[in-house]
Structure 1
Amino acid sequence: MSEEAKLIQRAYRLEGQALAEIYDTHNEAIYRYAMRLLGNVDAAEECVSETFTRFLNALHRKKGPRDHLKAYLFRIAHNWITDYYRRAAPATEPIDDEISLVSTEKPDMEAFQNIEIVRVRAALKKLTPAQEQVISLKFLEGWENAEIATAIGKPIGSVKSLQHRALATLKRILLDEDDE
């Protein structure tokens, strides 16, 4: 039995140490993912909280994961984010609150890097939700295609296709902006 399977079994027994280990292992990655998709500190924190609340409720009902814990948690987070956008359009937040902007001793370089961060973030928002999710998990979280496929419930071929289309769209968006 794998270490993850043992940890999940202990979580089903609601062992505090197992639950704390799961939270400590995954909460920061879920927060980063939520921040990228939501762009709002309060909403990202609420997403993390709700993700683990739903996870605990699923364990209590004996309907939680049997394997692929990380993918299971990210699916909960993604579903919460989808619900968030369905409930209401998010309020506009200043970009300074959502990302740590680059700080250097050269203000002109810092300004250029900050502009680039904003451009890429805006371009990511123009992707479909599925494309944005795949790009975030692949390039910002460093997941393998198989992990992404498990998390979003699609075959690996679909993940590769989403990734290819998303990268082509991002390239087109960013190059079009450069031409303007």
Structure 2
Amino acid sequence: MGVMVIDGFDLPEEGLEKVDHIGILLQRVADGDRAAFAEVYDALSARAFGLILRVLVDRSQSEEVLQEVFLEIWQSAARFTPNRGQGRSWVLTIAHRRAVDRVRSSQSSVDRDVRAGFRDMDVAYDHVAEKVELKMEGRRVVDALAALPDAQKEALTLAYFGGYSQSEIATLVGAPLGTVKTRMRDGLSRLRMEMGVDK
């Protein structure tokens, strides 16, 4: 029986069961295996970068955050627990959390600057206002997402921050496609409610 590796999963061609290839690599990383770490990086760095870039928009900040993400993975791979989820989801969750932390940190910095009156006068007002507005809106979305049940939050995060299709999400989380569609529909409905947005 042949085995295909698709996006971090070993999928037997007969479709009997999937093996969490990234999870296995993370367990080796926890033991200090540099080759396994390189494999995790090769498999997921592009996907993680895309997710981070969607949150931050700024490319150079996204590159910095990506480095922080993989440093954290190297230092804390032992915290990955296979029976609590897939290795790939664990890595992408770290990437998303780090990106959100950077947004919050940037927002705090803007708030401090405004309070202290140290706004750079050479920067056009419209540009500053637009950046602050985008960051505030991003924070509203993050806060609203945090209020969702885990299954809905995971489905929406993978779709909108990870760029996955519904069928890819179903494969990743091990749920039927119909269940994923329901989670996304219900999650979007609740997200609108949390943000006070009309349908």
* TM tier relative to shorter chain: 0.5 to 0.7
Deviation at 1:125, TM superposition (A): 5.1
Q: C-alpha distance in 2, partners of 1:81/1:36?
A: 9
Structure 2 counterpart of 1:136, from 142, 160, 164: 160
Residue of structure 2 in register with 1:50 after alignment? 68
Residue of structure 2 in register with 1:101 after alignment? none
Contact 2:48–2:92 (CA<8 Å) still a contact in 1? yes
Q: C-alpha distance in 2, partners of 1:85/1:148?
A: 27
Q: C-alpha distance in 2, partners of 1:85/1:147?
A: 27
Contact 2:53–2:59 (CA<8 Å) still a contact in 1? yes
Deviation at 1:147, TM superposition (A): 4.0
The structure where strand makes up a greater share of residues is: 2
Contact 1:30–1:48 (CA<8 Å) still a contact in 2? yes
Tell me, yes or no, if structure 1 residue 2 matches structure 2 residue 1. Answer: no
Deviation at 1:69, TM superposition (A): 1.1
- 1:43–1:2 distance in 2 versus 1, CA, 3 Å: same
Q: Secondary structure at the match of 2:79?
A: coil
Could you report, residue by residue, the CA deviation over 1:49-88 in whole angstroms, capped at 9, with x for unpaired residues? 11111111112xx323425111111111121122112212
Q: What is the letter of the counterpart of residue 186 of structure 2? A: S
Deviation at 1:127, TM superposition (A): 7.0
What 5-or-longer segments of structure 1 have no aligned partner? 93-120, 174-180
Q: CA RMSD in A?
A: 4.0
Tell me, yes or no, if structure 1 residue 11 matches structure 2 residue 11. Answer: no
From the CA coordinates, give the structure whose radius of gyration is larger: 2
Contact 2:49–2:66 (CA<8 Å) still a contact in 1? yes
Q: What is the letter of the counterpart of residue 160 of structure 2? A: S
Contact 2:48–2:66 (CA<8 Å) still a contact in 1? yes
Structure 2 counterpart of 1:161, from 167, 186, 190: 186
